[in-house]
C-alpha cells in the first residue's frame, strides 16, 4: 500500500526528515511514536502532500505509484486521509456541506457522478451513529467553537465518510478524555479492513490500548531508529524515550 | 470641454427647465451648484481622496440629461431583481422612471418618485423638513447631485407602520448614449416606530460607459428601524459614487450593508449622524473584486449624544491588480458619554499585485466610552488551505471556501433570507466555483 523509501524532507531549508524507510501493507496498523520534534507530524504532512515541505531525496509510493508529483487533493482522491492534530475552523460551512463537497469533489475527480442525496443522507446518518455524533452537531459550522474532543471526533467522522485506503491519524488522542478516546478508537477499529491501512501517530501508549498496532516505529531526529511490535510501545511507556535516544547516538 | 464646465453650462439649461418648482428648491440648487463650482471634482490632493483617483472616469464626454426613453422587457432584467419574494419596486431606466417595471404604492405609505415629491403640494411638508437636511453641504459631489437632482425614489413611512414587503430601488442604464452620467436622488423618511427594508442596485445593461453620482438621505425617527442593502455588482464599464447620509433620532436602529463585487470604480461615502440617545448604527460590507477594479469605502459615524452604539465590519478580498480603500472615521463628541463604537476592517490580498489602503480614524472627546478598532491585511491561511485540499477539495474550490468563511459573518446580520441567498450566489459566481450547495 504505502512504501516510503529513504525519505528526506525539509521546510524553509531546515532538514526534518533524514531518511525514512517505511512499508505499510493493506490490513495493517502501524504506530509511529517519538519525542517532540522528532518529525512525526512532518512525515504525515509530507505523505499527505503539504506544499510547504520539500522532499529533498527519496520517494513515496502509493500502491506502486510514485506520488511525488501529486497535489494534496489528488492524493486524497487516491485514498490518502490525514486526521489533523489541529483541524481548521470554517465558519459558515456546515459539517454536512463540507463532507458532501469533499465526497463529491473526489467522485468528480474520478469521473463519477455526484452521490445521490438519499445515499449521502443515509451514509451520514450511519457514520454519525458510529461515532455517537448528534444530528445537531452536523449542521454546525465546521470546527467553529468545537471542543478539542469534538474536533477529533469530527475528523474521524470525515474519515468514515471518505473511506480512505490509507488513514494517518496525527495525534488524534491529544485533547481527548477517556470516553471520547474510546468512541474515536472504536470508530477507527470499525473502519479497519483487510483492504485499508492505518498509521497512528502518538506520543503515548494510551491510544494503542484501544487501536492495537501490528507494528510500532520510533522516530528520532527524522529517522526511524527502532521498529518492533506492540510490546515496544509498552516498553517506551515504561522507560521513556531517553534510552532510545542514547541507543541512536551510539 | 472639461466635464466640470459642461456641467456648469448644463445647469443653466436645467434651471430654466425646472424653474417653476418651489423657490426653496431653486435656492437649494443654486447654492449647491456654487459649492460645486468652487470645489470642483475632488482630486488626490484631498486627504479623503488620496487613494482614489477620478481622473480616468471624468475624461469621458458624458451625456448629462438623456432624453430618449427606452423600454425594457421584465424577462431581460429579472435576474437583477430579488424576485423570489414579494417587493415594492421603484425602477429607473437611464434616469427616467419606468412605470412598467415598477410597483409603487400610496396605500398607507408612500413608495413613489422624487419628481412627484418635489412637485406636488401634498409632499411639501415632508420635502421642506427633510430634503437636503442630512446631505453634507460642503461635499462637492453631493452638491453636484443636489444641483441636478430631479428624480429618484421617494419613500415616506408614517408612524407605527411595519412595511411587510421590502422595497427595491433599481437603476438600469441601457447604453442609448455612448456615455452617460446619472444623478439619482433618494429621500427616505421613516417616522416613529416604523420599520422598513430597502434594497438598492445600479445595473448597466451594455458596455457603454456609465457614471452614477447618487445621493440617498435616510431619516430614522424615534424608535424606527431601517435596514438598507446595497448590491454593487455592475459591469466593468460602470462606475458609482454613492453618497448615503443616515440621520437618526432617539432609540432608532439603522443598518447599511454594502456588497461590492463589480463595477470599474466604486466610492461609497456613508455617513451616520446620531441625533438622540440610545441609537444603534450598523454598517457592514463585503468587497470581493479582481481585475483592475477599485472599491473605496469612506465611512463616518458621528456620535453626538450619550448611550449610543455603532458597529462597523468591512471584509475585503482583493485579487489580480484590484485596489481597495477603507477609511473609517468615528467621532465621539464630549457629550456622547457611554458610547460603544466598534470598527473592524479585515482584508485578504489574494494576489501580489492587489493593494488595500486602510485607515481607521478615531476622534474621541468624551472620557467614558468604549471604542475599538482593528484592521488586518493578510493572505489565505496555508494550513487551512492544506486542510481542505487534503479532503479532496481542489485548490480553487478550497480557496473559495476559505474566502467565503472569511467574509461570512457579515451576512449574519442580513435579515432578509432571499438577500443572503442572492449574496451567497454572487460570491460563488465571483469566486468562479460551484460547490454543489448554496454557501
Q: Is A171 left (phi over 0), alpha (psi -120 to 50) or beta?
A: left
Residue with the three cell numbers 456546515: A94
Task: Tell me the per-residue pLDDT of B134-178, one tens digit each, with 9 for 90 and over.
Answer: 999 999 999 999 999 999 999 999 999 999 999 999 999 998 888
Residues 6+ apart with CB under 8 A from B309: B279, B280, B281, B339, B340, B341, B342
**Same-domain pairing of B233 and B97:** yes
Chain B residue with Cα closest to A84: B387
Distance from CA of B279 to the nearest CA of A (A): 29
- Please count the structural domains in chain B: 2
**What integer pLDDT is reported at residue B46 of this predicted model?**
92
Domain that includes residue B39, residue range = 3-275
Q: What is the pLDDT at residue B439?
A: 47
Question: Using CA atoms, how far apart are residues B3 and A190, in angstroms rounded to an integer?
Answer: 75
Which of B275, B291, B311 finishes a domain?
B275
**pLDDT value, residue B108:** 95
User: Residue A91: its pLDDT value, please?
Assistant: 84
User: Helices A117-130 and A148-162 meet at what angle, rounded to 10?
Assistant: 130
Residues B153 and B8 in one domain: yes
| Below-70 pLDDT ranges, chain B | 19-21, 435-439
Same domain, B20 and B165: yes
Nearest by CB to residue A105, choosing from B386, B392, B408, is: B392
The low-confidence residues of chain A, meaning pLDDT below 50, are none
Predicted TM-score (pTM) of the model is: 0.88
The answer to the question of residue B360 being in a domain is no
Confidence at residue B21, expressed as pLDDT on a 0 to 100 scale: 66
- Residue B301 inside a domain? The answer is no
Indicate whether B367 belongs to any domain: no
Question: What distance in Å separates residue A82's CA from the closest CA in chain B?
Answer: 7
Looking at residue A140, its pLDDT comes to: 93
Cβ pair A88:B409 closer than 8 A: no
Q: How many CA atoms lie within 13 A of A147 on its CB side?
A: 7
Per-residue pLDDT at A27 = 94
B283 in a domain, yes or no?
A: no
Residue B333 within any structural domain of the chain: no
Q: Which domains does chain A have, with CATH numbers?
A: 2-249 (3.40.50.300)
**Domain end (from B257, B275, B293):** B275
> Which chain A residues contact residue B433 at CB under 8 A?
none
What pLDDT, on a 0 to 100 scale, did the predictor assign at position B438?
A: 53
Residue B143 placed within a domain: yes
**A100 contacts B394? CB cut-off 8 A:** no
* Selected residues 399-418 of chain B with any CB under 8 Å from a CB in chain A: 401-402, 404-405, 408-409, 411
Chain B: give the shortest CA distance to residue A63, in Å: 18
Domain final position from B230, B260, B275: B275
> For residue B24, what pLDDT is reported?
85
CB pairs under 8 A between A and B: 87
Tell me A205's DSSP state.
Answer: S
According to the model, what pLDDT value does residue B436 have?
58
Amino acid at each position: 500500500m504505502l512504501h516510503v523509501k529513504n525519505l528526506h524532507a525539509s521546510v524553509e531549508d531546515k532538514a526534518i526528515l533524514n531518511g525514512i524507510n517505511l512499508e505499510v501493507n493493506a490490513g495493517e496498523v502501524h504506530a509511529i511514536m517519538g519525542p517532540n520534534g522528532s518529525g512525526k507530524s512532518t512525515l504525515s504532512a509530507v505523505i499527505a502532500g503539504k506544499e510547504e515541505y520539500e522532499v529533498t531525496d527519496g520517494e513515496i509510493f502509493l500502491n506502486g505509484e510514485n506520488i511525488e508529483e501529486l497535489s494534496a487533493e489528488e492524493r486524497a482522491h487516491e485514498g490518502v486521509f490525514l486526521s489533523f492534530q489541529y483541524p481548521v475552523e470554517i465558519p459558515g460551512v456546515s459539517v454536512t456541506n463540507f463532507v458532501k463537497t469533499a465526497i463529491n469533489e473526489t467522485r468528480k475527480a474520478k469521473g463519477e457522478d455526484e452521490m445521490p442525496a438519499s445515499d449521502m443522507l443515509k451514509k451520514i446518518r450511519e457514520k454519525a451513529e458510529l461515532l455517537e455524533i448528534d444530528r445537531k452537531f452536523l449542521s454546525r459550522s465546521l470546527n467553529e467553537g468545537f471542543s478539542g474532543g469534538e474536533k477529533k471526533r469530527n475528523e474521524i467522522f470525515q474519515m468514515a465518510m471518505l473511506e480512505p485506503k490509507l488513514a494517518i491519524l496525527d495525534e488524534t488522542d491529544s485533547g481527548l478524555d477517556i470516553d471520547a478516546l474510546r468512541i474515536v478508537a472504536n470508530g477507527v477499529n470499525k473502519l479497519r479492513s483487510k483492504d485499508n491501512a492505518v498509521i497512528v501517530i502518538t506520543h503515548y501508549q494510551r491510544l494503542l490500548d484501544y487501536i492495537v498496532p501490528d507494528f510500532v516505529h520510533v522516530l528520532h531526529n527524522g529517522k526511524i531508529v527502532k521498529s518492533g511490535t506492540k510490546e515496544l510501545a509498552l516498553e517506551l511507556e515504561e522507560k521513556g524515550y531517553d534510552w532510545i535516544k542514547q541507543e541512536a547516538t551510539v | 470641454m472639461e466635464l466640470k464646465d459642461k456641467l456648469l453650462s448644463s445647469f443653466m439649461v436645467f434651471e430654466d427647465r425646472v424653474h417653476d418648482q418651489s423657490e426653496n428648491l431653486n435656492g437649494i440648487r443654486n447654492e449647491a451648484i456654487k459649492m460645486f463650482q468652487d470645489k470642483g471634482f475632488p482630486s488626490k490632493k484631498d486627504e479623503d481622496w488620496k487613494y482614489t483617483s477620478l481622473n480616468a472616469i471624468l475624461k469621458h464626454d458624458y451625456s448629462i440629461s438623456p432624453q430618449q426613453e427606452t423600454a425594457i422587457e421584465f424577462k431581460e432584467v429579472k435576474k437583477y431583481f430579488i424576485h423570489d419574494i414579494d417587493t415594492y419596486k421603484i425602477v429607473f431606466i437611464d434616469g427616467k422612471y419606468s412605470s412598467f417595471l415598477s410597483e409603487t404604492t400610496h396605500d398607507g405609505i408612500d413608495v413613489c418618485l422624487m419628481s412627484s415629491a418635489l412637485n406636488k403640494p401634498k409632499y411639501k411638508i415632508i420635502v421642506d423638513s427633510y430634503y437636503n437636511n442630512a446631505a453634507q453641504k460642503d461635499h462637492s459631489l453631493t452638491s453636484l447631485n443636489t444641483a441636478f437632482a430631479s428624480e429618484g425614489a421617494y419613500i415616506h413611512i408614517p408612524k407605527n407602520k411595519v412595511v411587510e414587503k421590502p422595497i427595491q430601488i433599481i437603476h438600469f442604464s441601457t447604453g442609448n448614449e455612448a456615455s452617460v452620467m446619472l444623478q439619482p436622488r433618494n429621500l427616505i423618511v421613516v417616522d416613529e416606530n416604523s420599520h422598513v427594508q430597502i434594497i438598492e442596485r445600479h445595473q448597466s445593461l451594455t458596455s457603454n460607459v456609465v457614471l452614477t453620482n447618487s445621493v440617498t438621505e435616510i431619516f430614522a425617527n424615534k424608535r424606527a428601524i431601517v435596514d438598507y442593502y446595497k448590491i454593487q455588482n455592475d459591469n466593468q464599464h460602470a462606475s458609482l459614487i454613492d453618497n448615503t447620509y443616515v440621520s437618526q433620532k432617539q432609540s432608532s436602529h439603522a443598518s447599511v450593508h454594502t456588497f461590492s463585487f463589480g463595477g470599474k470604480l466604486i466610492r461609497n461615502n456613508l455617513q451616520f449622524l446620531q441625533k438622540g440617545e440610545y441609537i444603534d448604527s450598523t454598517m457592514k460590507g463585503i468587497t470581493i473584486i479582481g481585475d483592475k477594479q477599485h472599491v473605496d469605502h469612506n465611512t463616518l459615524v458621528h456620535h453626538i449624544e450619550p448611550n449610543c452604539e455603532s458597529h462597523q465590519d468591512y471584509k475585503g478580498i482583493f485579487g489580480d491588480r484590484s485596489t481597495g480603500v477603507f477609511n473609517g472615521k468615528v467621532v465621539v463628541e464630549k457629550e456622547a458619554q457611554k458610547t460603544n463604537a466598534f470598527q473592524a476592517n479585515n482584508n485578504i490580498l489574494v494576489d501580489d499585485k492587489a493593494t488595500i489602503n486602510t485607515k481607521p480614524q478615531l476622534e474621541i472627546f468624551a472620557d467614558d466610552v468604549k471604542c475599538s478598532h482593528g484592521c488586518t491585511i493578510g493572505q489565505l491561511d496555508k494550513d487551512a488551505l492544506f486542510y481542505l485540499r487534503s479532503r479532496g477539495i481542489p485548490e480553487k474550490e478550497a480557496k473559495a471556501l476559505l474566502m467565503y468563511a472569511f467574509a461570512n459573518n457579515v451576512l449574519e446580520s442580513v435579515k432578509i433570507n432571499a438577500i443572503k441567498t442572492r449574496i451567497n450566489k454572487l460570491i460563488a459566481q465571483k469566486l468562479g466555483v460551484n460547490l454543489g450547495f448554496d454557501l
